[in-house]
Amino acid sequence: MSSLIVTNKHISALVNSVTPNYDDERCTYYHNRKHHNLFRHREQTGKVLLEWNKKAFHEAYVTETFSETCFYSYTIYPPYTPVQILKLCDSYIYQVDDARGWTESEAYRIITAIRDRATRNLPGYEDADWCI
């Protein structure tokens, strides 16, 4: 597997995707026995995703060096479509899922919450039958 460190724009697009569509809407995940609200902690959320990405890269390429000065800076971008967010999630997951502890990590829970929200925002999702 190859691995790369995704860009700030990539992470910001994921983090921006949790902006509420209406007042009561929340995008949360559960980690370390606490619920976390992604919208309220966008900067920290981005930092968690970048740090996990750097950890996975380092595990994949122990002998390779990368800029330790990689840092996350939250930036607002125009919203992307739910399909684009799902693709960005898949790309991020591809970079990190071989790292030890991925499925127990906070980053895993964040990406799962973002994927779930993007899925619910797909055109036609709300109108689709719950059971058939």
* pLDDT confidence band for 11 (50 / 70 / 90): very high
Residue 92 lies in a domain: yes
Residue 17 lies in a domain: yes
Residue 104 lies in a domain: yes
Domain that holds residue 115: 8-120
* pLDDT confidence band for 3 (50 / 70 / 90): confident
Q: How many domains does the chain have?
A: 1
117 CB-near residues (< 8 Å, 6+ apart)? 17, 18, 27
Q: Which residue has the higher pLDDT, 17 or 83?
A: 83
Residue 128 lies in a domain: no
* pLDDT confidence band for 68 (50 / 70 / 90): low
31 CB-near residues (< 8 Å, 6+ apart)? 106, 109
Residue 40 lies in a domain: yes
Return the number of other C-beta atoms located less than 10 Å from residue 116's C-beta: 13
Residue 3 lies in a domain: no
**What is the pLDDT at residue 92?**
97
pLDDT of residue 64 exceeding 80, the answer is no
Average pLDDT over residues 54-67: 78
pLDDT of residue 1 exceeding 60, the answer is no
According to DSSP, residue 5 is labeled P
